[in-house]
């Protein structure tokens, strides 16, 4: 993977300067999601994959119960004690401390540790760098202290760390993708049962390009938590007529129209999108099986429009980037990706057309939004693993 050996040698050097020789190094990747957005916390399906951009954590034991951290990309240190874990307003240590906190709360015995964290997942671009740090930490502490945790348990601890320590009520997708990613495969994850299946994603003729809006709205986390509440409110209303509906996964479009069409317009729109998106993902998986990438791509545009108009988590920059490629023959599908309010759009692009497309879109983006477009070509790679 490009860049990974350079980062590994850098992280070793930095660790050496601060703490000596690491006991181990773990790599945990960022993620993309092909389709199925905001469906994870509604217990539907998602279709993510791990990518070739990752977070690395180098770690070693300490025998004084202290935690000494260093963020290589920020050149910042942080120290605390295992016995007094608290969220820091520096933010980045929280993804590590939150995982240690979960392990302690669950009764696992861990000691103090030194850790250096760094990587090449662009921060704030919606590629789940935070989930990657959490999964890397869980994997590293599990190995270092011989806890015997399986991957699913590590994913659940990582998600809980984000929910309880960081305060974002995120679903399970990002951590699951980072931990369970597999080269050249997407993961069809059932977020209710946590059953999953790998599906080949053939990139012989297709490149996956991410266009980074460069925007990160501060309301991302409060609006995210609000969307969750709006969906829960929809479920409460549907339940009055259909008590068997425990989440939007159990509802269908008929129920949504029958129970929510008159009432809070926002709740109606949010639930309509989710119920349609869960079905759309199932249909998109059929497209994958049939190698019908044109049909798959069209669904991505429909997902974008739903995220923008019904779920209302897009932003003018992401809408603009999708509109710029909507009628371009080179692009099979495009949509905003992840939680929303900024981050990247994901584009499935015919091989050989990438350079022209990037030039065109970057110049339009500059004109329309007075911003320089950052783009990333990504490949699908393996999930969290030990480097050394
Ligand atoms: C963020 C969250 C995920 C998921 C997506 C939207 O990435 O962390 O759990 O809800 O948004 O699909």
Q: pLDDT tens digit string along 329-380?
A: 999 999 999 999 999 999 999 999 999 999 999 999 999 999 999 999 999 9
Q: Does residue 388 surpass a pLDDT of 80?
A: no
295 and 158, same structural domain? no
Atom of ligand 1 nearest to the CA of 340: 11
Distance 27 CA to ligand 1 centre (A): 21
Q: Using a 6 Å cutoff on CB, does residue 40 contact ligand 1?
A: yes
Spatial distance between the Cα atoms of 59 and 225, rounded to a whole number of angstroms: 33
Give the closest residue (by CA) to ligand 1 atom 10.
38
The residue to mutate among 30, 133, 171, 228, having the most atoms of ligand 1 within 8 angstroms of its beta carbon, is 171
Q: Coil, strand, or helix at residue 68?
A: strand
219 and 166, same structural domain? no
Q: Using a 6 Å cutoff on CB, does residue 339 contact ligand 1?
A: yes
CB 113 within 8 A of CB 96: no
Cβ-based neighbours of 370, under 8 Å, separated by 6 or more: none
Q: What is the pLDDT averaged over residues 219-239?
A: 93
242 and 174, same structural domain? no
124-148 residue pLDDT tens: 899 999 999 999 999 999 999 999 9
Q: Give me the CATH number covering residue 273.
A: 3.30.70.890
Q: How many residues would you count in the chain?
A: 388
358 and 220, same structural domain? yes
Spatial distance between the Cα atoms of 208 and 349, rounded to a whole number of angstroms: 6
CB 181 within 8 A of CB 32: no
Q: Using a 6 Å cutoff on CB, does residue 37 contact ligand 1?
A: yes
250 and 217, same structural domain? yes
The residue to mutate among 176, 187, 339, 340, having the most atoms of ligand 1 within 8 angstroms of its beta carbon, is 339
Binned at pLDDT 50, 70 and 90, residue 209 comes out as: very high
159 and 37, same structural domain? yes
Q: Give me the CATH number covering residue 47.
A: 3.30.230.10
370 and 275, same structural domain? yes
Atom of ligand 1 nearest to the CA of 36: 12
Spatial distance between the Cα atoms of 26 and 8, rounded to a whole number of angstroms: 10
Q: What is the pLDDT averaged over residues 101-115?
A: 98
Percent of the chain with pLDDT over 70: 99
246 and 294, same structural domain? yes
CB 22 within 8 A of CB 15: yes
For 294-347, the DSSP string reads HHHHHHHHHHHHHHHHTS----HHHHHHHHHHTT-TTEEEEEE-SS-SEEEEEE
Distance 258 CA to ligand 1 centre (A): 28
Q: What is the dihedral of CA 127, 360, 310, 42, to 10 degrees?
A: -20
Q: Using alpha carbons only, what angle is made at residue 211 by residues 174 and 340, rounded to the nearest 5 degrees?
A: 45
Which pTM does this prediction carry? Answer: 0.97
352 and 249, same structural domain? yes
Residue of 99, 91, 82, 28 whose CA lies nearest to 57: 28
**Residues with active-site annotation:** 174
Which range marks the domain in which residue 105 is found?
A: 4-202+382-386
365 and 233, same structural domain? yes
Q: Using a 6 Å cutoff on CB, does residue 119 contact ligand 1?
A: no
Q: Does residue 2 surpass a pLDDT of 60?
A: no
- Domains: count for the chain: 2
Residue of 102, 126, 90, 317 whose CA lies nearest to 221: 126
Q: Using a 6 Å cutoff on CB, does residue 41 contact ligand 1?
A: yes
Query: What per-residue string of b and e applies to 87-117 under the rule 16 or more CB within 10 Å gives b?
Result: eeeeebbbbbbbbbbbbeeeebebebbbbbb
241 and 134, same structural domain? no
329 and 228, same structural domain? yes
Check residue 269 and report its DSSP letter: H
Give the pLDDT score at 123.
Answer: 87
């Amino acid at each position: 993977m490009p860049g990974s050996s350079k980062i590994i040698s850098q992280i070793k050097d930095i660790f050496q300067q601060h703490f000596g020789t690491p006991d181990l190094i773990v790599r945990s990747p960022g993620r993309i999601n092909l389709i199925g957005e905001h469906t994870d916390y509604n217990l539907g399906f998602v279709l993510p994959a791990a990518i070739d951009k990752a977070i690395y954590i180098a770690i070693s034991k300490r025998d004084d119960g202290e935690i000494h951290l260093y963020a290589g990309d920020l050149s910042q240190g942080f120290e605390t004690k295992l016995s007094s874990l608290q969220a820091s307003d520096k933010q980045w240590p929280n993804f590590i401390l939150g995982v240690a906190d979960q392990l302690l709360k669950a009764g696992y015995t861990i000691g103090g540790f030194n850790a250096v964290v760094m990587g090449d997942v662009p921060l704030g671009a919606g590629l789940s760098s935070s989930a990657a740090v959490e999964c890397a930490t869980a994997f590293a502490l599990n190995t270092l202290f011989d806890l015997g945790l399986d991957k699913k348990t590590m994913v659940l601890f990582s998600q809980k760390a984000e929910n309880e320590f960081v305060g974002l009520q995120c679903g399970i997708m990002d951590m699951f993708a980072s931990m369970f990613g597999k080269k050249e495969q997407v993961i069809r994850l059932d977020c209710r049962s946590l059953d999953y299946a790998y599906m080949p994603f053939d990139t012989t003729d297709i490149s996956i390009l991410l266009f980074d809006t460069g925007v990160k709205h501060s309301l991302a986390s409060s609006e995210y938590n609000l969307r969750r509440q709006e969906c829960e409110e929809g479920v409460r209303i549907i339940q009055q007529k259909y008590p068997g509906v425990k989440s939007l996964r159990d509802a269908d479009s008929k129920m949504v129209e029958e129970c929510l069409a008159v009432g809070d317009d926002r709740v109606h729109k949010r639930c309509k999108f989710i119920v349609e998106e869960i079905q759309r993902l199932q249909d998109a998986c059929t497209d994958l099986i049939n190698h019908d990438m044109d049909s798959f791509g069209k669904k991505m545009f429909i997902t974008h429009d739903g995220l923008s108009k019904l779920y209302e988590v897009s932003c003018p920059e992401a809408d603009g980037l999708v509109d710029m490629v909507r009628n371009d023959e080179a692009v099979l599908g495009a949509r905003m990706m992840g939680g929303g309010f900024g981050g990247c759009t994901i584009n499935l692009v015919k091989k050989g057309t990438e350079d022209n497309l990037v030039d065109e879109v970057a110049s339009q983006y500059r004109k329309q939004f007075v911003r320089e477009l950052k783009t990333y070509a990504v490949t699908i790679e393996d999930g969290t693993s030990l480097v050394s």
